[in-house]
Amino acid sequence: MNFKGFFLFAFFSISMFCYAQISAPELDKLINNTLKTFDVPGISVGVYKDGQIVYAKGHGVRSLTTKQAMNKSTMVGVASNSKGFTCFALAMMVDAGKLNWDDPVRKYIPEFQLHDAWVTDQFKVRDLVTHRSGMGLGAGDLMFFPEGNDFTVQDVINNVKYLEPENSFRSEFAYNNNMFIIAGEVLKRVSGLSWEEFIETKIMKPVGMTSSKASYNRVTDRTNMIDAHTRTEGKVIQIPHDWSETANAAGGIMSNIEDMLTWAEFLMNDAVTKDGERLLDTDLFHELWQLQTPLSVRKGDWYNTHFRGYGLGWFVSDVKGGYKQVHHTGGLLGTVTQFTMIPELDLAIVVLTNQMNGSAFNTITNTIKDSYLGYENRNWLDRYGTRNADYIKYNDSIKRVVYNKVKQMQSTTFPIPKSIEGTYADDWFGDVTITHVNGYKYRIECKRSPALFGELLPYNATTYVAKWNNRSFDADVFVQFTFNEKGDAVSASMKYIAPITDFSFDFHDLELKRKTN
């Protein structure tokens, strides 16, 4: 290369990193506008760049009830951002020679069984954490969601054999929490420690995550913790914390901005702690961020992405034509979180919220990321704000049409089916009872998940609407009955009314058959 060429190359290389990065006052303004646009009570944000924390602050309030301020130390359930910890823990067992990613699951859990016998035999530990089981999105999540059910980890292991696949094994990506729950049990049986004990003592403590806990129930000081919030029938309200301890390996960790930035620094330092201790062999650590299950990339992707997929507990992709991005999101009832790293830029962005609106964290993360990647202002706040308003309006219109028809049916005389009353059983979810209340009204109750109860209202001659008593679920469903020649209901299936329903309300996977007296 001649001198002129070298000069141009050097100038170009330097100029790539001279973009106007978002300032703290600009970020303050963005976050406060995000709170208003998406009706989120509180958001905490952290940015790590080039070996130091350049931003760590909370905005808004941690609770609509107490009005106490959100800050960088406020504890939040990071939800599925726990999955990276589960895979790191398993990799530590591989490093210790106690486990291999490609060992059959049945080597450690002999009673493990899936719907297909061949898939059961072929199913590896790696398959547990890469969302390629063949089962549908969120299959079986009702075994831990919402909180208050009585399913145990062993129940999950015993019941996954009843979940019929939607695709062939390893052919499609479909997010599955229950496989991570089983992965947590593998860790327990191999290490001799519970998942919670392992995460806290073998990862959090040496990394320096001094405030974090592996589950909600292990948090003893709750003086600086969010309350959960969600939009319910047009208004954001506070709701109770909701998480089942059964699913901790899939999403149980409680943390804050300070500790999640410590976790990010540790990861981008090649799994070496601040004290210089390496917790994982470099090649095994490298494997966590390698593509395992591919995902499609849409044409005209905003970040000029060429590949996208899931690694071992992480989504991986490239942004702006070559920078590797490692990221994950998390969602519970009442909170959503986002954790993003671009290791080549030594950049990490953490967004924790107390309202379940992903448009809020996308607005903040994308704006910060753009400023370091050199994109012009793409006004993500307006972009996501418009999309969010349209999406809410669309879902509300669907629900309005359905309940208008219900109201019309209630005021119209129509023949009541001879009997839909009784107990209906699903192989993995258990009993659902339907009792007659008065007129055309019935009551529906899910016996193993008592939070799921409500009215059953007529929609047409064969279909009713389950209107759950807890309106914050936003998960009302059609219940369609099949009848025998006598007019008696013999089975029922469910389908959510509006697409805004969280996929973990997997009512559509139930095959309810009426029990005979």
- 28-77 pLDDT, tens digit each: 999 999 999 999 999 999 999 999 999 999 999 999 999 999 999 999 99
3-class state of residue 250 by DSSP: helix
Distance CA 112, CA 400 (A): 44
Q: How far is CA 48 from CA 42, 217, 260, 318, in A?
A: 20, 29, 10, 19
CA 236 to chain centre: 20
DSSP state of 202: I
Question: How sure is the predictor about 163, in pLDDT bands with cuts at 50, 70 and 90?
Answer: very high
Domain contains 403: yes
Number of independent structural domains in the chain? 2
Q: Are 350 and 485 found together in one domain? A: no
Q: Are 415 and 373 found together in one domain? A: no
pLDDT at 6 over 60: no
CB contact at 8 A, 322 and 342: no
Question: How sure is the predictor about 19, in pLDDT bands with cuts at 50, 70 and 90?
Answer: low
CB contact at 8 A, 249 and 157: no
> Among 378, 413, 439, which residue terminates a domain?
378
Q: Are 249 and 283 found together in one domain? A: yes
Question: How sure is the predictor about 416, in pLDDT bands with cuts at 50, 70 and 90?
Answer: low
Q: Are 176 and 65 found together in one domain? A: yes
pLDDT reported for residue 235: 93
Distance CA 448, CA 205 (A): 36
What tokens appear for 296 in the block?
């499609």
Q: Where are the alpha helices (DSSP H) in 102-244?
A: 117-122, 125-128, 153-159, 177-191, 195-198, 205-207
* Nearest CA-CA partner of 512 in 467, 485, 486, 477: 477
pLDDT reported for residue 480: 97
Please give the mean pLDDT across all residues of the chain.
93
Question: DSSP string spanning 416-430?
Answer: PPSB--EEEEETTTE
Q: How many CA atoms lie within 13 A of 239 on its CB side?
A: 25
Domain contains 415: yes
Q: Are 446 and 374 found together in one domain? A: no
Domain contains 25: yes
Q: Are 354 and 451 found together in one domain? A: no
Q: Are 264 and 342 found together in one domain? A: yes
End-to-end Cα spacing for the chain: 87
pLDDT at 8 over 70: no
Share of the chain above pLDDT 90, in %: 89
Q: How far is CA 31 from CA 40, 202, 353, in A?
A: 10, 35, 11
* Nearest CA-CA partner of 246 in 148, 141, 151: 151
Q: What CATH number corresponds to the domain at position 426? A: 2.40.128.50
pLDDT at 321 over 80: no
* Nearest CA-CA partner of 249 in 88, 138, 381: 88
Q: Are 273 and 415 found together in one domain? A: no
For residues 233 and 112, the model is more confident at 112
> Among 378, 407, 425, which residue terminates a domain?
378
What tokens appear for 169 in the block?
């094994």
User: What number of helices (H) and strands (E) belong to the chain?
Assistant: 14, 20
Distance CA 160, CA 145 (A): 15
pLDDT at 245 over 60: yes
Distance CA 471, CA 171 (A): 37
Q: How many CA atoms lie within 13 A of 170 on its CB side?
A: 9
What tokens appear for 229 in the block?
């919030």
* Nearest CA-CA partner of 433 in 393, 489, 475: 489
Distance CA 87, CA 189 (A): 15
Average pLDDT value for residue range 285-291: 98
pLDDT reported for residue 20: 66
What tokens appear for 83 in the block?
């999955």
Read off φ and ψ for residue 16, nearest 5 degrees.
Answer: -60, -25
Cα-based angle 398, 404, 408 (whole degrees, multiple of 5): 150
From start to end of 279-395, where are the E strands?
293-295, 308-310, 315-319, 323-332, 335-342, 347-353
Q: Are 94 and 153 found together in one domain? A: yes
Domain contains 387: no
pLDDT reported for residue 18: 44
Q: Are 443 and 363 found together in one domain? A: no
Domain contains 385: no
Domain contains 27: yes
Task: Kindly report, residue by residue over 502-512, the tens digit of the pLDDT.
Answer: 999 999 999 99
- The lowest-confidence range among 107-121, 204-218, 479-493 is 479-493
Residue reference for tokens 């995902």? 295
Domain contains 106: yes
Task: Kindly report, residue by residue over 376-392, the tens digit of the pLDDT.
Answer: 999 999 999 999 999 99
For residues 84 and 415, the model is more confident at 84
* Nearest CA-CA partner of 130 in 182, 94, 78, 93: 182
Distance CA 241, CA 233 (A): 19
Q: How far is CA 41 from CA 65, 66, 86, 227, 474, in A?
A: 10, 11, 30, 10, 19
Q: Are 334 and 365 found together in one domain? A: yes
Q: What CATH number corresponds to the domain at position 371? A: 3.40.710.10
pLDDT at 14 over 70: no
Average pLDDT value for residue range 340-353: 98
Share of the chain above pLDDT 70, in %: 95
pLDDT reported for residue 315: 98
Residue reference for tokens 């962005």? 349
CB contact at 8 A, 174 and 135: yes
Residue reference for tokens 């996977």? 509
pLDDT at 148 over 60: yes
Q: Are 332 and 455 found together in one domain? A: no
Domain contains 388: no
Q: Which domain holds residue 435?
A: 398-514
Q: Where are the alpha helices (DSSP H) in 255-340?
A: 257-268, 282-288
Average pLDDT value for residue range 134-148: 96
Task: Give the residues across from 225 on adjacent strands.
Answer: 75
What lies within 8 Å, CB to CB, of 217 at 6+ separation is: 245
